A and B are shown apart, each in its own frame.
Chain A
Amino acid sequence: MSEIEKLLNPSDFEAFQKKIVEGRDPNRTAVAVCSGPGCLAYASGKVFDRFKVELLESGLAEEVTLAQTGCHGFCERGPSVVILPDEICYLRVSPDDVKEIIETTLRGGGIVERLLYKGEDGLPVQKESDIPFYKHQQKVVFGDNKRIDPRSIDDYIARGGYTALVKAITTMSPETVIAEVKESGLRGRGGGGFPAGAKWEATAKPPADTRYVIVNADEGDPGAYMDRGILEGNPHSVIEGLMIGGYAIGANEGYIYVRQEYPLAIDNVLYALEVLREIGLLGENILGTGFNFDIIVHKGAGAFVSGESSALMSAIEGRVGEPRPKYIRTSISGLRGKPSCLNNVETWANVPLIINKGADWFKSIGTEGSKGTKIFSLVGNVKNTGLVEVPMGMTLRQIIFDIGGGIRDDKEFKAVQTGGPSGGVIPEDMLDLHVDYDELYAAGSMMGSGGMIVMDKDTCMVNVAKYFLEFLSDESCGKCVPCRDGIDQLLEVLQRLTSGNALEEDLELIEDISLMMKECALCGLGQSAPNPVLSSIKYFKDEYIAHIAEKRCPGGVCKALIAYTIDKEKCIGCGKCMKVCPVAAITGEKKSPHKINNALCVKCDSCYQECPAKVQAVTKIRQADVITAFATSEEAANE
């Protein structure tokens, strides 16, 4: 950070910004080592440390900027290192590659080809934005991550940071700020998709001495980490958005409710706030405009239901994070009974862009009802997992196949689950659905906060529904009967289904409980809890029927319903399955067909996975068919 003097008025800020921008050479070489959650798990921290040491040793430390940045997105191939300004993207970088990168690329200007992305055609791709995973994305909110050290406010300001705030508080009235956000059509990125501008307006309206603006960073959907990516990588964008919101709504206090499980996000945000207070962008009379604002970080204690607005506010007040049963909007009576505006991380991060570039620019992206971009965490059985940002209106097919590269191991696609535990599954024939709040909702799923779990043909939809309900049964607060006992009983039925003990009537029971929960449960969690079950019944009823009527699991997942057998025609007797079997249930001579003793088999799936793809002799059959299958193989053996 450059030496700091408190910024007392807008021209101080301008001078501050000018100094930072002028002090930077856009052509200076910079190494951005991704430190998102995925890459860190792949030891990108060690890669960074090695860079630090090696750069000093090679004498390049003065000429090259080295930064540990937030998530770049391509988690599948982490750790990712991007060399700027040419955007050379190295993937799967290990600490041992560092020396070669420094010598070849930084000193020699060449390319380390083996670390580049190679497409299906085997040709290496040098530039990050040319990699198919990135090529189809539109990175508006998430794009600056690789150019910003989250610990450097200079980096953020050099990219135009805080100009939107200054613009808002010096040249716009609170009403015009709200009007601009309303005009942009920005909708809440946390789940329901409520229009942000309308929410702001509703919070600003009621007479009150105090109002609050709050960031919901209690992201808890299984497999989702978009908000984490933003908060860790670019905390200032969220803070700036929150401050603009505070100004527009008339709040002097903001809260960031972030889950304890995101320690790096908490650290980076706290650090950012400290710096802002030091330079006078946070506190009393900001830039001499009379606008007072400060932000408090509240660490959540790990309850999914605390992401619900009234529960979150209860938690900030120091009470148990349970939803409030009253029918009154938090925009009228929220935190401590005051009008409070709660938006999620991604929503706030969009605000500075709207103020700077205008509502018209924002409106130009997206569909009729859903404007702007949306970040998804693309996970599951897809080749390229990671965080992707796409314009609203892109089809699911484009996201999964163009960006995600299709299904892992080139298996058949079965379904995609969007919207987290409150969302639903979408089958193959609806892959051309556009990602749009209303289209997804009409399909029985929802946008949610942006989780996108891709599932291949070896997935059991009943089991998926059961998985999400198990998650919800742990996370329901247990206050109201429909949610507490409803989830419990639904889970019981699904348990029966997956163990082959369900009856035809059980489908009716599921429907009865689900419909009642949808309308009678106290909060959004309970009301949407049956969605995973209802949507999978809607599109995959045949799988439910197969579990009931045939005692068969079409996905081959439900252990009670499947058994393994070896096709003696196909088996080449390589012995691989025999070696991995943990219970010695497989027998057979080398080069002659093997056999599985189903009485010993524990259905661990190891033999199925181990059997060479070309051979595919290990197959799954119905548990109910085991005796006959055995009989035939015994007969065959006797022949």
Chain B
Amino acid sequence: MSEIKLKINGEEVTAEPGTMLLDAARKAGAEIPTLCNLEGLEPFGACRLCVVELIRGGRSRIVASCLYPVEEGIDVLTESEKVVRYRRNILELLEARWPLIDKALLEKYKVNTGRMARRDNFCIMCGICVRHCSERRKLNVLGFVGRGIERQVVSYTMRAKEFCPECFDKELSCLKFCPTGVIVNDCATRCPASRDEEAFAKPIRVRDDDNAIAVKKSLGDL
């Protein structure tokens, strides 16, 4: 198939049809932050940090670059004034939920913290654990329940009992991919399946890196 020509930040690039803007832009050297995107998993479009400005025929719109395939003749701006402003607002929302967020990112986008109401919850609903479990491991132990702000990740008890032990190897564990570091631990400790199976404590300790311990301390868990 013929290559598609488009412009990224003013520079002409070519990409194979079906390539997502995110990958094309990163290849062209653009820095685009993401949270819910993980190579090898289907794009999810939930964190919206990867938004870019797309100009076609003089009309501009904001799209999530992880899900938008390259198109002939479009102009993509990855750091336009609008994009930067929106990313700042999204980071601001995320920070209110997830104090562990990468401080360098907050600095880069000059995020004004403290305006939002605190919602310390630690899980950012990126769905990586859920998708990892269903797409890669094909185990379907994890899923979402609830709507809106009450949405949360839960494990299905019966399946967890049966299949979670399969993942204890840390290379395969969903915990390994959780970008927040804490939430899956939390999830696993709440998991009914872990109550009587000592093995469940294992990956939790593995993930207790400095960051997570610091947060847990601040929460009074340790």
Contact = CB atoms under 8 A, between A and B. Distances in A.
B112 to A, nearest CB: 9
A516 B67 contact: no
Contact of B93 (A473, A476, A481): A481
Given A516-B89, A521-B48, A484 B64 contact: no
B90 A484 contact: no
B93 A486 contact: yes
Contacts of A505: 115
Interface in B1-56: 43-49, 51
A631 to B, nearest CB: 37
B212 interface: no
B148 A325 contact: no
Contact of A481 (B61, B94, B147, B148): B94
Given A478-B147, A484-B148, A516-B90, A327 B63 contact: yes
B68 interface: yes
A590 interface: no
A320 B146 CA distance: 11
Size bracket of the B interface:
35 or more
Interface string B108-120: 0000000111010
B150 A480 contact: no
Given A327-B68, A484-B125, A489-B116, A476 B147 contact: yes
B119 to A, nearest CB: 7
B44 A325 contact: yes
Contacts of B116: 489, 492, 509
Contacts of B46: 325, 479-481, 522
B151 A478 contact: yes
A488 B119 contact: yes
Contact of A485 (B67, B146, B149, B150): B149
Interface string A530-562: 000000000000000000000000000000000
Interface size on A, as a range, is 20 to 34
A613 to B, nearest CB: 42
A519 B144 CA distance: 25
B96 to A, nearest CB: 7
Contact of A480 (B45, B69, B86): B45
Contacts of A485: 93-94, 96-97, 119, 149
Question: Which of A305, A327, A520 has most B Cβ within 10 Å?
Answer: A520
Nearest to A305: B147
A479 B85 CA distance: 21
Contact of B148 (A327, A474, A509, A520): A474
A33 B183 CA distance: 59
A479 B94 CA distance: 13
Interface in A471-498: 473-482, 484-489, 492
Nearest to A472: B148
A503 to B, nearest CB: 10
A435 interface: no
Contacts of A325: 43-46, 64, 67
Interface string A441-481: 00000000000000000000000000000000111111111
Interface in B104-143: 115-117, 119, 124-125, 127
A492 B43 CA distance: 31
A514 B43 CA distance: 25
A267 interface: no
Among the interface residues A326, A477, A519, which one has the most CB atoms of the partner chain B within 10 A? A519
B206 interface: no
B199 interface: no
B45 A484 contact: no
B115 A509 contact: yes
A508 B96 CA distance: 17
B98 to A, nearest CB: 10
Nearest to A480: B46
Given A492-B116, A505-B115, 5 more contacts: A325-B43, A327-B68, A475-B148, A492-B117, A519-B61
15 contacts: A303-B147, A305-B147, A476-B147, A478-B150, A482-B48, A484-B148, A484-B151, A485-B97, A485-B149, A489-B116, A505-B115, A516-B85, A516-B86, A520-B48, A520-B64
Interface of B: 43-49, 51, 61-64, 67-69, 82, 85-86, 89-90, 93-94, 96-97, 115-117, 119, 124-125, 127, 144, 146-151
Which 5 A-B residue pairs are closest in the complex by CB-CB distance? A325-B45, A478-B151, A516-B89, A519-B62, A485-B93
